[in-house]
Amino acid sequence: VTQGLLLGKQRTVFVGTTTSMQKFRGVLLDMGDQTFSRHFRMDRTQFEYLLTKLKENGLSRDHSHGKTQVPATNKLLLFLWYIANQNSFRELSEKFNLSVSSAHQTVLQVLTILSRIGPTFILWPNGCEKGASAAAFQRTCGLAGVIGAIDGVDYMNRNGFCSVLLQGIVDERGRFIDIFAGPPGRVHDARMLRASDFFLEWHQKMGDYFLLGDSAYISQAFPFICAPKRDNGRLTEAEHQLNARINRGRFIVEQAFGYLKCKWRRLRDLQNTRIDIVVMVIMAACFLHNMCIDHSDICPEHPQGCPREDDDDPLSLFYSQWFPRLRQAYQTTFSEQLLVPYQDSQFVSLISK
């Protein structure tokens, strides 16, 4: 080797893929269609389509020096397993017969490519598509001029703290047509909308159309969002019906967030200290979400529809289950100035006389 270097010759080393890796890849690719879809969250047609896209953008690069790199097929299989499950990199490295650093590098490589080609999966609708969306929403909720629904969701880490927020706008099929991710912590939906790029461009994008949103978007600053009126006990029958139509129309965005977290389970617990990587994981999940919907894919566990995002939200469960009791206890306590125990609870509210 030293003599070759002194003579100016290049040393070329070819090391083939290990036998165990070849066998494991064969096992994965030889799975039945349903088993493959259940593990990797997409069918083989979608897998080949995504693999072609990634190869065109540098997932596999030919070289003649050093060890043979991990095949592009293995890289995509590893990444899909990573984002579809909650395994650690140590478990991934053992499963795919790679070092921990190689598994981490593979995930980062695929995330980087997806962040570069992602805008091709998430596009704002053109004029004809807006008309089709408006007609679909009118059939669903009876409201004219609606082309999408908007909402925000936060993703928590293993300690239960809100790590990153995602704002999404979806069409009548639940496809994301605009996303904004990145603000850390818990931020109000209205504040997140003001910080997004969409808020700066809504005049050009919306035109004469509207979006459906929840009560968080009740503001004169959002004339393009149709939000339900707050029920203060004085709403008319017509206002109740309007609120019901808005909620029926915006159900699609809650369903989309539920589908996103159900299909790509990495989003349930983002254990990463780098915000930029967390954002790339969330956005990659949104890109894959749209790609699967374009191929008429459904969740194998919930063919009738995934649970809504707020169905398993601990804060939503707390508010729905405990807030009525807290309010009743508060009213009773301050009206009678007594000790008020919570029903079906071990806690006691102590109010000094």
Residues 241, 112 share a domain: no
Percent of the chain at pLDDT above 90?
48
- Residue at which a domain ends, from 118, 150, 184: 118
**According to the model, what pLDDT value does residue 272 have?**
72
Residue at token pair 């915000």: 275
Residues 80, 43 share a domain: yes
Residues 105, 7 share a domain: yes
- Residue at which a domain ends, from 118, 144, 170: 118
- Residue at which a domain ends, from 118, 142, 175: 118
**According to the model, what pLDDT value does residue 226 have?**
95
pLDDT tens per residue, range 254-302:
999 999 988 999 998 877 768 888 899 999 999 999 999 998 766 656 5
Residues 99, 52 share a domain: yes
**According to the model, what pLDDT value does residue 325 have?**
53
Residues 111, 8 share a domain: yes
Range of the domain at 325: 313-349
Asked if residue 18 has pLDDT above 60, the reply is no
Residues 201, 146 share a domain: yes
Residues 81, 39 share a domain: yes
pLDDT tens per residue, range 89-120:
999 999 888 999 999 999 999 999 999 998 88
Asked if residue 2 has pLDDT above 50, the reply is no
Asked if residue 150 has pLDDT above 60, the reply is yes
pLDDT tens per residue, range 132-149:
999 999 999 999 999 999
CATH number at residue 102: 1.10.472
**According to the model, what pLDDT value does residue 9 have?**
45
Residues 271, 155 share a domain: yes
Asked if residue 351 has pLDDT above 50, the reply is no
Q: Is the pTM of this model over 0.95?
A: no
Domain count along the chain: 3
pLDDT band at 26 (very low <50, low <70, confident <90, very high): low
Q: Give the span between the Cα atoms of 35 and 37, in whole angstroms.
A: 5
pLDDT tens per residue, range 30-67:
777 888 888 888 989 999 999 999 999 988 765 556 66
